[in-house]
């Protein structure tokens, strides 16, 4: 059997099930329905802390025991959660220190969820104790395939516990107050600290203008790192607790794609496998969804991940919660698998009767029977995934192209006071990703610290912060023949947001062969223009004014006092090439620019397919699986270039044959 992230012999199918919210008499009918839908995996116990621990001294596992037995006797695999994302009310009453304090300094009361201070000793003590108790109690259940720690970790806290812990974290990072003063450039605005106790958290009461704007970038940046680390510590403590009793069981927590507050690239190093929750809005483009899957695979350093949650149909928490149109749930499920998921799990198995998620899509509707569109679609997909068996499991991507998306850089770029409020890191990342995605070029998403040697093309949009070692890795990569692309607002600062002196783009200057003397910042309504390979494109946000230092000019500005000066350059450096794009342009530019570079470097798409069809490949040894996903509203004809068998239609195709994919249709060609 091919190895996958956990002990399962097929693509896992199922998701969050909360029988503790229902009378026991209803459970048997739930099981009948779930089995009818070919569900084989249940995520249990996500929000049961209050049930499991009625008071400080008492634990009560009576109901969970029954639920665990129900799952086992119905041959369900279990992804067992530790329930620590919502602490019990009695705990908040007895120990108010476990409650978070908001950015505006408001001490929270009991309520909602994800409301525990990550640095509260009491929260840590009791969450770890619960995790360990669960592991000890249920270790004998061989149908448990993973631990699901907490749930969608996130947010931040500005309480006194956290302030104290911040000082400890800073001492570890800087050792002396002198080092801290230098890193934070505290000579500015008289911020010099003489004692660690003088340091306070950067929030609305101190350094911040609002959540996104700070006057002390280095302090706010360290707070971001600290907050991400604090929450990660909570995960790691529970991780260690469950491993004591179940060392073989893989441990995960469900991530949320490009979730800014947590440095997932760092988190990934501590998780046995990555899982994540995919909730696109109806307006999200196909490439945005694809990007998040690729990002999550990147966080797991390329290994398969698990789609832990998606809705079978509608959500409840968006302003407008459209139904997934017929076929879309299936299509998006296979899209997740195409990009590396070995599971298709839903939130939720059954609609609850009360509170905010009662209108969130579920396999079992309030009608309570199998005669619904959603149920039929879920059951049909379940049957297909069952028939696929262990095909695809454990296979990985094929990318020769990497896109750098780095959380610390993200925080630093978005905190920058000037040069332009429209400059947003995610927007620039998506500009390049969408272009590559449109051409079906496989992409790995990596952090600044990743090894580049396995790639031919590395793209680093707005690589503003160059931490120690980053320029060396890029220099070696290009010298050895790699192609590197970066943009305006790159190479400016070090890890403390201190400017690297001597001219922009700092340590990348010799690699790129340009010196950026100035950068013009344009409002959204004002554009410059340039001509690249015979076509005119707009230039906006920032327009770099450059002096060539060995690079050649590929395109020049057409307007303003810097007309005829370079905007796009290429530098031959060692065996490779380094491109610099000195502005932000429009989608058609990125599409053409990326197509040119890929052509020159002979980087091939997963397949040549018509517009609207996404092509993605997974491989395991010599075994290739080509996913063809028609996101369009009309059928598409695809000319087959490599013989293969469509695993879903059980049909063979020879080279030159035409495969007709209906609207929202999927094919998986196995070579
Ligand atoms: C998140 C949570 C779930 C549920 C869903 C609803 O992903 O993890 O508990 O609230 O959202 O979309
Ligand atoms: Zn706190």
DSSP 309: E
Closest Cα to atom 10 of ligand 1 = 357
CA 490 / ligand 1 centre spacing (Å): 36
The secondary structure of 215-282, three-state, reads CCHHHHHHHHHHHHHHHHHHHHHHHHHHHHHCCCCCEECEECCCCCCCCHHHHHHHCCCCEEECCCCC
Tokens of residue 621, six digits: 């040894």
The model's pLDDT over 424-483, given as tens digits with 9 standing for 90+, comes to 999 999 999 999 999 999 999 999 999 999 999 999 999 999 999 999 999 999 999 999
Active site residues: 152, 309
Report the nearest-CA residue for atom 12 of ligand 1. 315
pLDDT of residue 3: 85
Q: What is the pLDDT of residue 281?
A: 85
Ligand 1: which of 43, 85, 151 to mutate, most ligand atoms within 8 Å of CB?
151
Query: Using CA atoms, how far apart are residues 615 and 339, in angstroms rounded to an integer?
Result: 10
Q: Distance between CA atoms of 165 and 521, rounded to whole angstroms?
A: 39
* Segments in the chain below pLDDT 50: none
| Helix residue spans in 515-630 (DSSP H) | 587-600
Ligand 1 atom closest to 46 (CA) = 9
Identify whether 505 is preceded by a cis peptide bond (ω within 30 of 0). yes
Ligand with minimal distance to 117 CA = 2
Ligand 1 centroid–CA 44 distance in Å is 13
Report which bound ligand comes closest to the CA of 86: 1
Q: Which of 108, 133, 202, 55 is nearest to 98 (CA)?
A: 108
Could you give the domains of the chain? 12-156+229-388 (3.20.20.80), 160-221 (no CATH), 401-600 (3.40.50.880), 613-670 (2.60.40.1180)
Nearest ligand by distance to the CA of 107: 2
Q: What is the pLDDT of residues 580-594, one digit of tens each?
A: 999 999 999 999 999
pLDDT at 1: 72
Tell which one of 15, 49, 259, 277 to mutate to probe ligand 1, the residue whose CB is within 8 A of the most ligand atoms.
Answer: 277
User: Which atom of ligand 1 lies closest to the CA of 315?
Assistant: 12
| Structure-block tokens of residue 347 | 């939130």
Ligand minimally distant from the alpha carbon of residue 112: 1
Task: Kindly give, in sequence order, each residue whose CB lies less than 8 Å from that of residue 302, ignoring residues fewer than 6 positions away.
Answer: 340, 396, 397, 444
The C-alpha angle 99, 105, 106, rounded to 5 degrees, equals 55
Cα(354) to ligand 2 centroid in Å equals 30
Residue 17 alpha carbon to ligand 1 centre in Å: 12
How many DSSP H helices and E strands does the chain contain?
17, 29
Predicted confidence at residue 20, as pLDDT, reads: 98
Ligand 2 is a single-atom ion; what residues have CB below 5 A from it?
117, 119, 157, 159, 161-162
d(CA 440, CA 281): 22
Residue nearest to atom 7 of ligand 1 (CA): 277
- The predicted pLDDT at position 360 comes to 97
DSSP 196: G
Choosing from 15, 309, 316, 363 the residue with most ligand 1 atoms within 8 A of its CB, the one to mutate for a pocket test is 309
Residues 6+ apart with CB under 8 A from 105: 158, 203, 204, 205
Residue closest by Cα to atom 5 of ligand 1? 347
Q: Nearest-CA neighbor of 234 among 127, 158, 115?
A: 127
């Amino acid at each position: 059997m091919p190895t996958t992230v956990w002990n399962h012999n097929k693509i896992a199918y199922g998701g969050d099930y909360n029988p503790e919210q229902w009378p026991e008499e209803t459970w048997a009918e739930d099981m009948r329905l779930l089995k009818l839908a070919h569900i084989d995996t249940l995520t249990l116990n996500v929000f049961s802390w209050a049930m499991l621990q009625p008071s400080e001294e008492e634990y009560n596992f009576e109901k969970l025991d029954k639920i665990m037995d129900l799952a086992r006797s119905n041959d369900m695999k279990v992804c067992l959660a530790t329930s620590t994302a919502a602490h019990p009310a009695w705990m908040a009453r007895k120990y108010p220190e476990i409650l978070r304090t908001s950015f505006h300094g408001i001490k929270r009361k009991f309520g909602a969820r994800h409301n525990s201070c990550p640095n509260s000793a009491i929260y840590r003590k009791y969450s770890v104790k619960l995790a360990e108790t669960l592991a000890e109690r249920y270790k004998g259940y061989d149908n448990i395939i993973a631990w699901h720690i907490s749930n969608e970790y996130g947010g931040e806290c500005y309480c006194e516990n956290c302030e104290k812990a911040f000082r400890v974290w800073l001492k570890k990072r800087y050792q002396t107050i002198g080092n801290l003063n230098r890193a934070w450039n505290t000579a500015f605005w008289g911020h010099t600290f003489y004692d660690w106790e003088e340091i306070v958290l950067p929030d609305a009461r101190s350094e911040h203008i609002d959540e996104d704007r700070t006057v002390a970038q280095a302090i706010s940046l360290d707070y971001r790192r600290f907050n991400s680390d604090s929450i990660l510590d909570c995960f790691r403590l529970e991780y260690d607790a469950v491993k004591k009793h179940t060392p073989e069981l893989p441990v995960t927590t469900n991530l949320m794609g490009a979730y800014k507050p947590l440095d997932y690239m760092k988190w990934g190093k501590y998780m046995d496998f990555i899982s994540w929750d995919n909730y696109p809005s109806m307006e999200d483009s196909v490439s945005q969804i694809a990007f998040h899957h690729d990002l999550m695979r990147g966080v797991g350093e390329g290994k398969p991940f698990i789609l832990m949650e998606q809705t079978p149909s509608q959500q409840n928490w968006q302003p407008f919660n459209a139904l997934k149109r017929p076929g879309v749930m299936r299509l998006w499920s296979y899209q997740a698998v195409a990009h590396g998921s070995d599971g298709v799990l839903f939130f939720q198995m059954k609609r609850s009767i009360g509170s905010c998620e009662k209108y969130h899509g579920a396999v079992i509707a309030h009608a309570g029977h199998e005669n619904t569109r959603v149920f039929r679609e879920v059951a049909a997909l379940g049957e297909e995934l069952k028939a696929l068996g262990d095909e695809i499991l454990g296979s990985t991507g094929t990318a020769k192209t990497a896109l750098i998306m780095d959380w610390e850089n993200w925080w630093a770029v978005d905190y920058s006071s000037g040069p332009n409020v429209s400059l947003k890191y995610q927007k620039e990342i998506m500009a390049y990703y969408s272009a590559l995605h449109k051409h079906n070029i496989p992409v790995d998403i990596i952090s600044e610290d990743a090894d580049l040697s396995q790639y031919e093309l590395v793209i680093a949009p707005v690589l503003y912060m160059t931490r120690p070692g980053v320029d060396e890795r890029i220099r070696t990569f290009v010298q050895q023949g790699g192609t590197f692309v970066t943009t305006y607002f790159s190479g400016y600062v070090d890890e403390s947001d201190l400017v690297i002196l001597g001219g922009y783009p700092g340590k990348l200057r010799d690699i790129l062969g340009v010196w950026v003397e100035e950068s013009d910042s344009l409002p959204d309504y004002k554009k410059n223009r340039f001509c690249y390979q015979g076509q005119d494109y707009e230039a906006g946000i920032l327009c770099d004014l450059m002096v060539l230092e060995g690079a050649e000019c590929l395109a020049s500005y057409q307007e303003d006092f810097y007309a005829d000066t370079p905007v796009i350059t290429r530098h031959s450096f060692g065996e490779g090439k380094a491109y610099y794009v000195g502005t932000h342009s429009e989608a058609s530019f990125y599409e053409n620019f990326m197509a040119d570079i890929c052509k020159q470097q002979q980087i091939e798409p997963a397949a040549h397919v018509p517009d609207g069809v996404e092509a993605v490949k997974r491989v395991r040894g010599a075994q290739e699986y080509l996913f063809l996903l028609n996101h369009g509203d009309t059928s598409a004809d695809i000319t087959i270039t490599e013989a293969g068998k469509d695993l879903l239609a059980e049909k063979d195709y020879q080279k030159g044959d035409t495969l007709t994919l209906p609207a929202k249709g999927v094919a998986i060609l196995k070579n």
